[in-house]
Amino acid sequence: MDNRLNARFKISYPGFALDVNLDLPGRGISALFGHSGSGKTTCLRVVAGLERATDGYLKINGEVWQDDSKGIFVPTHKRALGYVFQEASLFAHLSVRDNLYYGLKRSAAKGQGIAFGQAVEWLDIAGLLPRRPEHLSGGERQRVAIARALLSKPKLLLFDEPLAALDLKRKAEILPYLERLHDHLDIPMLYVSHSPDEVARLADHLVLLAEGKVVAAGPLQETLARIDLPAAFADDAGVVIDTVIGGHDDSDHLSRLDFAGGALLVSRQAKAIGSRLRCRIHARDVSLNLERSDNSSILNVIPACVIAVADTDNPANVLVRLDAAGTPLLARITRRSLHNLALQPGMMLWAQIKAVALFD
């Protein structure tokens, strides 16, 4: 089977046009990222069939939902997809249980079957089943909405900024459940967001949109490490690294995270040795030194090679791409530091990592 999501759409409105050509993995989370007005939600609505693109084409893991060259257009209600919006959009007059039964009833096709009890367990909503939406928190409503989408037996899941309406506490509540879906579902998921942290934590593949066009697309780690896209992330530029917990130092309350380029020391983690842990390192938290310094409070010092240097939106700063034994890193330094260190591609130095953001 052709395990890919292929989409080609053109659609025009007064003052805005969407023109995208996507080739995405047929499993995992592909994030559509960009500033407001970049076309993220419009792209999602066209994929869902809620808006009709001209000369459109959409194939999900070998199944064609739209091909205007052959007169094929599967209407939304016949597409095996689940759609989770910013607002949960639950039926106020129904209990949580009956909202979930609605998801079962609207199954358009034989997608990946999720049993009722399984969806309830994954989203941890057994205690909510008798309640009505008015008696749920925002995070609880979104968990119910996600479970309802799963019960429609989707071959594709669409998320339109599902955390945008939640406060930080509720966002932190929902994210582990989204990670659970990522680990268990064997279908593609399109996740719209303007939050770099959400994208870094959840996505496998990244699509950057600007003014209705794709400006970059590729595996998350590779795309985040590009230095020709600084405006897309501004001060949030940085990389994502998948690590394995290699050991614990209980005397200093630290854990060691191993990765291809070396190891990172972080605060003591509750997970067992051998557990996987994704982390994010912001470019602003990486400084550079031509010699290793052990007389510093910075614990994480990694040998790296300079690959390239690029300008940023601030003329006083530059972005430096580094290679740490195959793992890309980014450092945001001043232009004066660039000159003082006389940095050139191919130069070996030490990357001093001042902070590591962990996604547990």
CATH number at residue 210: 3.40.50.300
Q: Is residue 233 part of a domain?
A: no
Q: Is residue 230 part of a domain?
A: no
17/130 same-domain check: yes
Q: What's the token pair of residue 335? A: 């232009």
Q: Yes or no: say if 357 and 196 are a contact pair by the CB < 8 Å rule.
A: no
**Which residue, 224, 247, 279, sits at the end of a domain?**
224
140/248 same-domain check: no
User: How far apart are alpha carbons 163 and 143 in whole angstroms?
Assistant: 11
pLDDT digit string, tens, across residues 55-83: 899 999 999 999 999 999 999 989 999 99
88/217 same-domain check: yes
220/275 same-domain check: no
Please count the structural domains in the chain.
2
194/79 same-domain check: yes
pLDDT digit string, tens, across residues 12-60: 989 899 999 999 999 999 999 988 889 999 999 999 999 999 889 999 9
Q: Which of 93, 96, 81 is nearest to 48 (CA)?
A: 81
Q: Is 154 helix (H, G, I), strand (E, B) or coil?
A: coil
- pLDDT at residue 1 is higher than 90: no
> Which runs of E-coded beta strand occur in 79-149?
81-84
| pLDDT for residue 230 | 57
pLDDT digit string, tens, across residues 152-161: 889 999 999 9
| pLDDT for residue 107 | 64
User: How far apart are alpha carbons 292 and 350 in whole angstroms?
Assistant: 6
3-state secondary structure 59-78: EECCEEEEEHHHCEECCHHH
Domain that holds residue 215: 4-224
In order, the DSSP letters of 202-233 are: H-SEEEEEETTEEEEEEEHHHHHT-SS-HHHH
Q: Is residue 204 part of a domain?
A: yes
HSE of 356, CA atoms in CB hemisphere, 13 A: 28
Q: Is residue 229 part of a domain?
A: no
Residue 231 pLDDT level (bands cut at 50, 70, 90) = low
Of all residues in the chain, what percent carry a pLDDT higher than 90?
74
pLDDT digit string, tens, across residues 92-146: 999 999 999 888 876 655 545 678 899 999 999 999 999 999 999 999 999 999 9
What is the distance, to the nearest Å, from the Cα of residue 227 to the centroid of all Cα atoms in its chain?
19
H-type alpha helices, 131-278 = 138-151, 168-184, 196-202, 220-224, 230-233
| pLDDT for residue 110 | 54
- Residues paired with residue 26 on neighbouring β-strands, in sequence order: none
CATH number at residue 350: 2.40.50.100
